[in-house]
Amino acid sequence: MQFFREKKILNAAQLKRLSEHKYSCTSDSILDALLQPWWCWLVSKTPLWLAPNLITILGLIVNIITTLILVWYSPDAQQEPPRWSFALCALGVFIYQSLDAIDGKQARRTGSQSPLGELFDHGCDSISTVFIALGACIAVKLGEYPTWMFFQCICAMTLFYCAHWQAYVTGTLKMGRIDVTEAQYSIIAIHLVSATLGPGFWSTQMPALGAPWCLLMSSMCYAAQFLFVINFSSTFRVRGCGKNGSTVAGTSILSPVIPFSLVVVPAFIIFQKSESQVYENHPALYIMAFGMVAAKVTNRLVVAHMTKSEMEYYDWSLLGPSMLFLNQYFNNAIPEYYVLWLCTIWVCIDLVRYCGQICLEICDHLKIQLFRISPPSAAPPDRNVTSDSEKSDAEDSAPLLNNNTSVS
């Protein structure tokens, strides 16, 4: 554990504000109301000794493994993996979504709610967003249109970041009628189509439009993302919840744009300037590398929100993209493929180190354990889950946001 116990990330004031943080979320999601009976039944069958954070991380692991199987068979998102791998990936997304939806319920059943649960849940979601988007692109063979694939994955990461940017400004995480749950089940449907008809289906031309089905799916995603952007833009027409219309930390409501720009802009420039076409030849590895940097920056935004702190612009994970940038500046002194692997390894290690240290610092402060809870005998009696979810409908309505934090 010494690896995670280096210089403190959170100071005493930040830890105090985090312990006082109250979760706030509103949601109008269509599918969430329909899926509540399934989630309530599932959590009622969950052992009381199973920690909510352990439920969350298990779902993430399943999602990552099933997606990496697709990446193994189709690293360029152009080859056709076996059909069973798509069915497996669909199952992986379903398991992840279901487990992510019940961790908050499990926390209330066992009386183990804490602000750490919210942070841990969002941290896992920031990583899963990358893998879910990447898996969907492989399922429709979007690697045949590398620019479309690039923007599709970047848009997914950006929208997730913007959702927490909005929370950083307003103090409340807001989910629309068509949001995370709908997107996840749409991707499950895409995987099932690829498993049934084969991924080659997405390359066939549509009768009327004369364009492949994969571009139609991408266009529909862009339309949904555009609607989110319109909703997100309303954040800047309304003053923030902080002093003089600022963020929860008292900073400018535009300040979060800078850290994320330091991820997206280099990703695009390196992609465009690469002489060896490192992205076109290895899109999955490229997306994972920059996706982990985006996940790290998003985690820092969530921490800034929960601790009501200013978000720093510099981050050690940016050293990874800098390797690629400097290598291009020196005329590819090292083959870009090797540098891309080095970048990916670095950003993954840095993300794990950061998340691990943050969790340990919060656990030490709150006197709790990350993956363990009190024995069932010491836990409060198992309450009616349906009634509990009705009282906390805002929390349970968005699977992306279900966590172990108490709701005010």
Catalytic residues: 122
Cβ neighbors of 377 (< 8 A, separation 6 or more) are none
Show the DSSP H helices in 25-114 as ranges: 30-44, 52-73, 83-110
Question: For residue 99, what are the CA distances in angstroms to 5, 44, 46, 307, 348?
Answer: 30, 12, 10, 26, 24
SS3 call for 22: coil
DSSP string, 303-333: HHHHHT-PPPS--GGGHHHHHHHHHHHTT-S
Whole-angstrom distance, CA of residue 107 vs CA of residue 112: 5
Q: Torsions phi, psi of 361, nearest 5?
A: -65, -40
Whole-angstrom distance, CA of residue 138 vs CA of residue 146: 11
* Torsion sign (Cα): 99, 105, 110, 111: positive
Q: Please identify which residue in the block is written with the tokens 């985690």.
A: 299
Q: Please identify which residue in the block is written with the tokens 């290598």.
A: 327
Question: For residue 213, what are the CA distances in angstroms to 75, 93, 190, 202, 220?
Answer: 21, 22, 11, 5, 11
| Torsion angle (degrees, nearest 10) of CA 140, 273, 160, 10 | 140
**Three state DSSP letters for 338-390:** HHHHHHHHHHHHHHHHHHHHHHHHHHHHHCCCCCCCCCHHHCCCCCCHHHHHH
